[in-house]
Amino acid sequence: MQEIVVVGGGVIGCLSALNLLEAGCRVTLLERGELGREASWAGGGIVSPLYPWRYQASVSALANWSQGYYPTLSAQLLAQTGIDSEVEPCGLLWLDHAERDQALAWAQQRQQPLAEVASEFVYERVPQLASGYQSALWQADLANVRNPRLLQALRARLLQFAEFNLQEHSTATGLLRDGDRVVGVTTQFAEYRADAVVVAAGAWSGDWLAEAGLSLPVVPVKGQMLLYKREPGWLKSVVLYEGRYAIPRRDGHILIGSTLEHAGYDKRTSTQALESLRQSAEGLLPELRELSPVAQWAGLRPGSPEGVPYIGPVSELPGLWLNAGHYRNGLVLAPASCRLLADLLLQRQPELDPAPYLPAGRVCQPL
C-alpha cells in the first residue's frame, strides 16, 4: 500500500486525497489551519471560469471535465455523508459584454451552449436587475456549488477511511530527503514518511518550492466578497457585469464578488472593498440597497501565469508532486485536476492529456 502525504487541505488537497484513498493508498493530510477554510471556502463556487473564452485550451479541458463530473460528485457525497453540496444548474448571464464576438466564436469552436439573448430574456430571467441592459451571453447549464458545504462533505467522506490521517493545525516545515529523493515531510510536531509528497498548498505552494530550492511562480492574490440575504428564489441565475457577479444560493443568500488585490498574505477585509462591492451589488440589483450585507470576508487565491495549474511530478526532486496554481479556478478545475494527479502518481492511463500541466520545464532552479 502506497503511503502518501498531501500538504494542504483545500478542495485540491481534499480531492487529491480522496482519489488516492479510493485507489487503495494510505494518506496523511497536513493542514496549517482548519480543513477547507482558505480560498476553497472563500470563493464563489461558479463551476466555470468567469470568462472561459480568455483561457488556454488546457484550462478549458480541465473545466469541461469537472463541469460534467460535479453533479456525480455531489450526489456521491450526499449519499455517503448526508451533506448536500448544492450543485445548482442556475445558468449564467454575462451582461452587455464587450467580448461578445470572441465569446461566441469560442463557443462555436468548442461546441459550448453559449448564446446571445436580448433584453426581454434577460429581464424575464432576472426581473430585479437594474434597468438599461441591452443583451447578454447566456449559458443555461452552468452551475454553482455551495463550496463551504462541499468542503464539509469532503471532510466527512475522508474521515470515513481508516487509511486517512488528518492533521489540522499542523504546519509542514520542511521536506525529508534521502539524497535527492523526497521521502516525507516534517511539521512542528512530527515527521511523516511517505512514498510520495503532494504539495497542494494553494497560495503557499510557491513558498514550499522555494524552501526546496526551486522557483514556482505561484503567489497570493486576495479576493474580498460580500454576502446578502433575500428570500429563497429571489435571484434565479448568476449575473456578471464588468468583472463583478452576483451568485444565488438555494436558501436566498446572494454572494457578491470579488476584488483582485496583490497584498501578500494579508487576508484582512477593508472598508474600501466593502464600498466598492456594495456599489457593484446595488448597481446590478438595486433592491439590495434596502439591505446591509450580512458578511464580508477575504481569501487568497494561488495566482499563476495564465491560470494554468502545475500537476505532476517535480523531476528535480523525485517523490515530490504538485497540484497547485489554479488561480481563480480551483473549485472549477478541482475534480479533473485531482483525477489527473492520481492517474499520474499511480501510473494509470490518464483521462486527460497531462502535457500542458506538467511541472517539467515550468518549475525553475533559482539562480
pLDDT given at position 367: 55
CATH of domain 219-236+243-303: 3.30.9.10
Q: Tell me how far apart the alpha carbons of residues 327 and 304 are, in angstroms, rounded to a whole number.
A: 6
pLDDT given at position 366: 76
Those residues whose C-beta lies under 8 Å from the C-beta of residue 191, and which sit 6 or more positions away, are 176, 184, 185
Low-confidence ranges of the chain (pLDDT < 70): 367
Quick one: CA dihedral 113, 114, 119, 122, positive or negative?
positive
pLDDT given at position 150: 98
Residues in a beta bridge with 239:
93, 246
pTM for this one? 0.97
Residues in a beta bridge with 128:
none
The domains spanning 3-54+148-216+305-357 and 219-236+243-303 adopt the same CATH topology: no
pLDDT given at position 364: 83
Domain range summary for the chain, segments of one domain joined by +: 3-54+148-216+305-357, 92-140, 219-236+243-303
CATH of domain 3-54+148-216+305-357: 3.50.50.60
Total count of residues recorded for the chain: 367
Asked whether the beta carbons of 49 and 156 are under 8 A apart, the reply is no
Asked whether the beta carbons of 366 and 214 are under 8 A apart, the reply is yes
Q: What is the pLDDT of residues 224-253, one digit of tens each?
A: 999 999 999 999 999 999 999 999 999 999
